[in-house]
Structure 1
Amino acid sequence: MTDPKHILIVGAGFTGAVVARQLAEAGHRVLVIDERNHVAGNCHTERDPETGVMVHVYGPHIFHTGDDGVWRFINDHCTMMPYRHQVRAVVRGQVYSMPINLHTINQFLGTNLSPAEAQARITDLAESTITDPQSFEEQALKFVGRDIYEGFFRGYTRKQWGVDPTRLPAAILKRLPLRFTYDDNYFAHPYQGIPKEGYTAAVDSILRHPGIELRTNVSAEDTDTASFDHTVYTGPLDRYFQHRLGRLSYRTLRFERDVRPAPHQGTAVLNYCDEDVPYTRITEHMYFAPWEVQSFEKSVLYTEYSAAAGPDDIPYYPVRLIDDKALLTQYVSLAQNTPKVTFAGRLGSYAYLDMDVSIRRAMDVADMLKTSFDRNQPPKPFVHDI
């Protein structure tokens, strides 16, 4: 290895923590900063002082992956407890299981269809004239037909994204499965779980290395980046350039906290699909730690509202409409010509990334940086296409 580098990492979420750990283990010195007073970013968890429930402060996060290496890595830093994610949805006053499965289909249609019969019925309902769906709505109509689309997807999507589904890309819906069995497991990955002591403890463990210094309540704007050999920036891409080209669009979330006798809702996540209900879902956080459920007398619930992110809001989901993609291309061009900085993570690449994908991409970033340093070559600003 060449002389150790002094690396600044902006952001102590999963991406920043994993890059820091990999570089520190390779012998480099790393300073990790975060403007919040905690690590783990939007995955941050903490004990609710009133109830003792482990709360997912910025909304629920379920760890699921088919990546053996990522699963081994997270298990090196926490005890992963088994967790099977099940979602229920309220449509026109009735409760259904999600994602769409045989139970959902039979209940919604008032039928008792076998798997083959249900598949044939959905084929009949689907709009076969749509051969190359471009929008979310077209994908849904081709996927399940108008009745199921309007019941389960149209209103919820308008609330979640703030635009008509005709303006959203088809790829958003392609993430959701359609099952002709009674399997209501939300995720199909072989590895699923939640850290026993929460995500923040897991990220703390990742950052616990003699080559890593952590400073919270510190922003990139208040840090002398020129004194470092290289910077890994995991904050919002447009913020790094002081929004000089305009602001990329994000959705943000607002939560209303409520404490009720336990149990209250009876499930972790209850979606509200009807457009005239102003919130998108209610989450009951004790169910994200099923090994603890019996110990609580009070339960914490969060009612979730989605809105366009303003300048002072926490960005959650990149919108990535046509205008945003055009603006993103311009910011990527700026980034490509910014020396000594690599942009990474959900915000740095303006992409929706599950936790396991964030960890894998962070490993890729670290490998690229180590190789570049060893060869005395300038690192790439991005490792993955965005």
Structure 2
Amino acid sequence: MTKRVLMVGAGLSGAVIGRRLAEAGHALTIIDQRDHIAGNCHTDRDAETGVMVHVYGPHIFHTDDEEVWHYVNSFDRFMPYVNRVKTTSGGHVYLLPINLHTINQFFGKTLRPDEAKAFIQSLADETIGEPKTFEEQALKFVGRDLYEAFLKGYTVKQWGCQPDELPASILRRLPVRFNYDDNYFFHRFQGMPENGYTAMIGKILDHERIEVNLGRRFDRAEAEGFDHVFYSGPIDSYFGYEYGRLGYRTLDFEPFRYDGDYQGCAVMNYGDVDVPYTRITEHKHFSPWEKHEKSICYREYSRACGPDDIPYYPIRLSEEKALIAQYVDRARQEAGVTFVGRLGTYRYLDMDVTIREALDTASTYLASVSEGGKAMPAFCVEP
């Protein structure tokens, strides 16, 4: 039996769920308040330089999920791309993540891996037991010098508060490698879509049973004409901010163009707190298979997200956790709607995880239909 399904949001979650349901014979209406598809993954050619620009900041695809890797490659060819980040700190340029080259350069040494490991251990603050804050986590593992050079200033700018106010969980992994590997990610599969994310998502949405309406805000009254709604917008917005607004950080971008190669790499972080921006991204380096004489760069600034801003990073400190718990309880009282994606579940999600969850959510819905209309949960993944 064909179901009429409404998807709110034409980003990765909406496109992937919509495509799977359409292929299974259901009718999809997808709406998005923006005038383009692909959400924050949106890419577009800069008219002046010809460079493919990541309009809302860089999105680099990396995953260990082979099914997801094959899925995205079925809609566009992913070209080889390895994210090699640099950082400027104290007037010098270093490699990130902190690795053996960074350690030797920073301390003026020529340490081997085992020597470097012992050296960093000697710098670690052994008085800290179980780290409770970001700062304690950093000091326990890399010591004060590396923490202040590479982590403290950037974190203050990114989150708008001191590192001793942030939970240790934000610094999930040991931020140091004892070899010369400067690949920012560990995953087996890494790359960029040859024609950009917007073209890729456009192909995902290109199905006869999918209707896409852009520049259209969602009204909850619309849901009455559909068998089910998948909502990938902000969960607090769905409920009219009934309990208050969830906290996010947003980003401002200051574009500038350059005749030539501005910084020689895609991403240059700025660890010093007196530099107001967190990083500069040079977009032609995200497509190394293309050649461009001119360049377009973004200076990136982080700040608190206002009511009219684009939300990027959920804050999820104690106040926000209490608030999201209220919205989750409220969502579970709703029938006929499932909250998905970064904004719908108030979680920071990499693109591969977003796609994996979307594929699994679509499978859950199709199973519920085949089982005679078994009710879909408000969340297929716990927020």
Shorter-chain TM-score category?
over 0.9
For residue 364 of structure 1, report the CA deviation from its aligned partner: 1.2
Counting only pairs closer than 5 Å after superposition, residues 139-158 of structure 1 correspond to structure 2 as 139-158=137-156
Greater CA drift, 3-12 or 217-226 = 217-226
The answer to whether the 8 Å contact 1:11/1:235 transfers is yes
Q: Which residue of 2 aligns with 1:320?
A: 316
Q: 1:81 to 1:223 in 2, by over 3 A?
A: farther
Q: Match of 2:272, SS? A: coil
Instruction: Please state if 1:367 is matched with 2:359.
Output: no
TM-score normalised per structure 2: 0.98
The answer to whether the 8 Å contact 1:271/1:281 transfers is yes
CA distance in 1: counterparts of 2:209 and 2:174, whole angstroms? 41
1:269-306, CA deviations, whole angstroms, 9 ceiling, x for partnerless residues?
Answer: 000011011000000000000001xx312100100000
Counting only pairs closer than 5 Å after superposition, residues 336-375 of structure 1 correspond to structure 2 as 336-375=332-371
Q: Which residue of 2 aligns with 1:305?
A: 301
For residue 172 of structure 1, report the CA deviation from its aligned partner: 1.6
Q: Which amino acid aligns with 2:316?
A: R
CA distance in 1: counterparts of 2:324 and 2:220, whole angstroms? 25
The answer to whether the 8 Å contact 1:99/1:176 transfers is no
Q: Which residue of 2 aligns with 1:189?
A: 187
Q: Which residue of 2 aligns with 1:82?
A: 80
| Equivalent residues, number | 382
For residue 128 of structure 1, report the CA deviation from its aligned partner: 2.2
The answer to whether the 8 Å contact 1:100/1:179 transfers is yes
CA distance in 1: counterparts of 2:349 and 2:217, whole angstroms? 23
Q: Which amino acid aligns with 1:155?
A: G
Q: Which residue of 1 aligns with 2:64?
A: 66
The answer to whether the 8 Å contact 1:167/1:321 transfers is no
Counting only pairs closer than 5 Å after superposition, residues 90-129 of structure 1 correspond to structure 2 as 90-129=88-127
Q: Which amino acid aligns with 2:319?
A: D
For residue 223 of structure 1, report the CA deviation from its aligned partner: 6.4
Q: Which residue of 1 aligns with 2:268?
A: 270
Q: Match of 1:291, SS? A: coil
For residue 221 of structure 1, report the CA deviation from its aligned partner: 2.4
Q: Which residue of 1 aligns with 2:329?
A: 333
CA distance in 2: counterparts of 1:270 and 1:304, whole angstroms? 10
CA distance in 2: counterparts of 1:201 and 1:33, whole angstroms? 18
Greater CA drift, 310-319 or 219-228 = 219-228
The answer to whether the 8 Å contact 2:9/2:30 transfers is yes
The answer to whether the 8 Å contact 2:120/2:142 transfers is yes
For residue 372 of structure 1, report the CA deviation from its aligned partner: 1.3
Instruction: Please state if 1:381 is matched with 2:378.
Output: yes
1:293-330, CA deviations, whole angstroms, 9 ceiling, x for partnerless residues?
Answer: xx312100100000000000000000111100010000
4+ residue runs of structure 1 moved beyond 4 angstroms?
Answer: none
- For structure 2, the residue ranges without an aligned partner over 5 or more in a row are none
Q: Match of 2:249, SS? A: strand
Q: Which residue of 1 aligns with 2:4?
A: 6
Q: Match of 2:74, SS? A: helix
CA distance in 1: counterparts of 2:174 and 2:208, whole angstroms? 42
TM-score normalised per structure 1: 0.97
The answer to whether the 8 Å contact 1:135/1:166 transfers is yes
CA distance in 2: counterparts of 1:347 and 1:203, whole angstroms? 18
CA distance in 2: counterparts of 1:237 and 1:170, whole angstroms? 26
Taking only aligned residues, the RMSD between alpha carbons, in angstroms, comes to 1.0
Counting only pairs closer than 5 Å after superposition, residues 166-315 of structure 1 correspond to structure 2 as 166-175=164-173, 177-221=175-219, 224-292=222-290, 295-315=291-311
For residue 175 of structure 1, report the CA deviation from its aligned partner: 4.4
Counting only pairs closer than 5 Å after superposition, residues 25-40 of structure 1 correspond to structure 2 as 25-40=23-38
Identity %: 56
Q: Which amino acid aligns with 1:356?
A: D
